[in-house]
Structure 1
Amino acid sequence: MLSVVDGIFIFVIISESVLGTLGNGFIGLVNCIDCAKHKFSTIGFILTGLAISRICLIWLLIADGFMHIFSPDIYLSNAFNLVEGISYFWLIINQSSIWFATSLSIFYFLKIANFSNTIFLWLKNRINRIPTFLMGCLLISWLLSFPHTVKMFNDHKMKNATVWLFNMNRSEYFIKQVLLNLGVIFSFTLSLITCVLLIISLWRHNRQMQLNLTGFRDVNTEAHVKAMKVLVSFIILFILYFVSIIIEISIFSVPENKLLLMFGITTSVIYPWGHSFILILGNSKLKQASLRALQQLKCCEKRKSLRAT
């Protein structure tokens, strides 16, 4: 039987999932409509892919977490094939979501930052090739991760699950996790580098404005600040997400700690839904579309109230 604390955690998790689905669904819908009306855009492709992958990621996290909570024996039973399938799908979706977010960071950096470096200018002129870069990185990440995932599940099937988990020493377990997440670590490093370079670009731009005795913030400064908010929020939320995933993985060692697992799920879902609303507020097109949608909802409510009276 669930306790009051368990009930609160489940309510929060479901609320986060609904918010994440609505936020990311809105981003995907706006960009799909825009793509149907106009020509294909790089930013539209990245945002749509990011939204779809995050919706899938949210519900995969929920499904896996609830299986841990309500059916923990499934990891030791013959139904383990279901868990294996979910794990493979999660691997694809998780890495897709992270690489789409990294591509968005790179896009903002190349679009807004100002550097005279030859490599930067060469990359800036090829900004529309980011989708190709994204697909290449995703393919490499999957090729690096899948063999280790397959081996891990084969070892699990050949041995008793409990024996397999507890016989694996910490260093071996750490190495396996690093190999599984090489693509994720590399993508996060890229996002961190773009964020630092954008800060340098903003600092140089502000210094130039001061030398020119210009006291007001121009359009370029505003663009820098908006991009910085999106990038910094992504990095903070991603670190939070990564820590929560580590917490969930550690549950294999302490399966009886259900409260810790629920905390891990609650924290992990913050990343895909929280960042979506930051993107909506930070993107002028998405922000205007959300304001129009809210105005239409208010008009509908007024019409209903007038009809009722």
Structure 2
Amino acid sequence: MATELDNIFLIVTIVEFIIGMLGNVFIGLVNCSDGIKKLKVFSADFILTCLASSTIVQLLVMLFNSCLMGLNPYLYTTYRIGKPAGMLLYMINHLTTWLATCLSVFYFFKIAHFSHSLFLWLRWRMNRVIVMLLTLSLFLLIFECLLVYMFTDITLNVTGESNLTLYLDENKTLYDKLSMINTLLSLASLIPFFLCLTSLLFLFLSLVRHTRNMKLSSLGPRDSSTEAHRTAMKMVMSFLFLFIFHFFSSQMASWIVFVSWNNRYLKFIMLPLNVFPSCHSFILILGNSKLRQTAVRLLWHLRSHIKGPNPSPL
């Protein structure tokens, strides 16, 4: 029987799911239709489409897990349901995080302006850098999946104990093993975090310097190019803060699950994890001119359709 807290959890999860699906489906449809029309796919559009597709799958898996946890948490903790669901959620979250990182690195090399020889050398080989990052993510995915498999195998095998925390306290060897696995997973997740953080911060610094130079050379403070760069800086910082929030939320959730497995409020730590896949698509839409213009035209057509045709004058 679902309690009032379970109902609140499910309602918030469904709202996050709907918001995320609207933005990511829109990105996927626009980029796919544009690629079919032009018979050519650009690197940024390809990464955006892959990110939107993986986020859609992530939202579906999160909704499935949330419904299980909200309606029947005991079914979720069984070995046949909990293990594949946890593994699938971790894999798709890993893919989404790395695609977001690759997109940040791509925009850094595409937009930033630095005269350092290393930056120019990497910028000339930008596509190779992205491919290398994706290859690295696949190798890390294999390594992390083995760790997650071991972690879920141990935890789900001992969930029959009345108190998992007390059981692990008494079994020091098992506790140390789980702690080491969790630490290795946290260290592995630092790689995309620092790559994304570094690329976005350097991109922001480049935009600040370029905006300052354009402001000094322009005729007035309302120059269109200066305003465009200010808007780009806001988009970069919004995406950066959202990514940082997602990283620390996922790390906190991982350690809370490890410390307090049987807590009845444990399901609510999944809600902050849904913020990044639900909201990052709208930041990408606002920061991409093609997506933004298409969204404005779509909203205008919807508004005109709702209002109906103007009545003809008498």
TM-score (norm 2): 0.83
In the TM superposition, 1:227-306 aligns within 5 A as 227-246=232-251, 248-249=253-254, 250-251=256-257, 253-254=259-260, 257-262=263-268, 264-303=269-308
| Structure 1: distance between partners of 2:250 and 2:139 | 22
- The residue identity in structure 2 corresponding to 1:17 is F
Per-residue Cα deviation, 1:126-183 (whole angstroms, up to 9, x for no partner): 2333542342122122122122123224434665654766416676544322322444
Q: Compared with structure 1, are the counterparts of its residues 241 and 174 closer, same or farther at alpha carbon in structure 2 (3 Å cutoff)?
A: farther
| Structure 2: distance between partners of 1:217 and 1:139 | 46
Q: Which moved more, 1:158-167 or 1:49-58?
A: 158-167
Per-residue Cα deviation, 1:209-229 (whole angstroms, up to 9, x for no partner): 466576547676555444433
Per-residue Cα deviation, 1:227-285 (whole angstroms, up to 9, x for no partner): 433332233223333343345442464455434522x2222211111111111112111
- The residue identity in structure 2 corresponding to 1:18 is I
Q: Compared with structure 1, are the counterparts of its residues 178 and 221 closer, same or farther at alpha carbon in structure 2 (3 Å cutoff)?
A: farther
Contact 2:6 2:71 in 1 (8 A): no
| Structure 2: distance between partners of 1:210 and 1:17 | 41
| Structure 1: distance between partners of 2:35 and 2:246 | 31
The answer to whether residue 114 in structure 2 is matched with residue 115 in structure 1 is: yes
The answer to whether residue 196 in structure 2 is matched with residue 191 in structure 1 is: yes
Q: Compared with structure 1, are the counterparts of its residues 214 and 240 closer, same or farther at alpha carbon in structure 2 (3 Å cutoff)?
A: same
- The residue identity in structure 2 corresponding to 1:242 is F
What percentage of aligned pairs have identical amino acids?
Answer: 35
In the other structure, the counterpart of 2:182 is 177
Residue-pair matches, total? 303
Q: Compared with structure 1, are the counterparts of its residues 244 and 64 closer, same or farther at alpha carbon in structure 2 (3 Å cutoff)?
A: farther
| Structure 2: distance between partners of 1:118 and 1:31 | 34
In the other structure, the counterpart of 1:12 is 12
Q: Compared with structure 1, are the counterparts of its residues 64 and 304 closer, same or farther at alpha carbon in structure 2 (3 Å cutoff)?
A: farther
The answer to whether residue 71 in structure 2 is matched with residue 70 in structure 1 is: yes
In the TM superposition, 1:106-145 aligns within 5 A as 106-129=105-128, 131-145=130-144
SS at match of 1:61: helix
TM-score (norm 1): 0.84
Contact 1:202 1:224 in 2 (8 A): yes
| Structure 1: distance between partners of 2:245 and 2:42 | 31
The answer to whether residue 41 in structure 2 is matched with residue 36 in structure 1 is: no
Q: Compared with structure 1, are the counterparts of its residues 131 and 242 closer, same or farther at alpha carbon in structure 2 (3 Å cutoff)?
A: closer
Per-residue Cα deviation, 1:32-58 (whole angstroms, up to 9, x for no partner): 111111211000111001101111112
Q: CA deviation at 1:14?
A: 0.6
In the other structure, the counterpart of 1:48 is 49
Unmatched 5+ residue regions in structure 1? Answer: none
Q: Which moved more, 1:217-226 or 1:94-103?
A: 217-226
SS at match of 2:274: helix
Q: Compared with structure 1, are the counterparts of its residues 212 and 10 closer, same or farther at alpha carbon in structure 2 (3 Å cutoff)?
A: same
Q: Which moved more, 1:271-280 or 1:5-14?
A: 5-14
Per-residue Cα deviation, 1:49-104 (whole angstroms, up to 9, x for no partner): 11011111122222223323332223554xx1222112222222111101111111
- The residue identity in structure 2 corresponding to 1:129 is R
Q: Which moved more, 1:129-138 or 1:288-297?
A: 129-138
Q: Compared with structure 1, are the counterparts of its residues 147 and 213 closer, same or farther at alpha carbon in structure 2 (3 Å cutoff)?
A: same
| Structure 1: distance between partners of 2:9 and 2:164 | 30
Unmatched 5+ residue regions in structure 2? Answer: none
Q: Compared with structure 1, are the counterparts of its residues 261 and 138 closer, same or farther at alpha carbon in structure 2 (3 Å cutoff)?
A: same
Contact 2:235 2:283 in 1 (8 A): yes
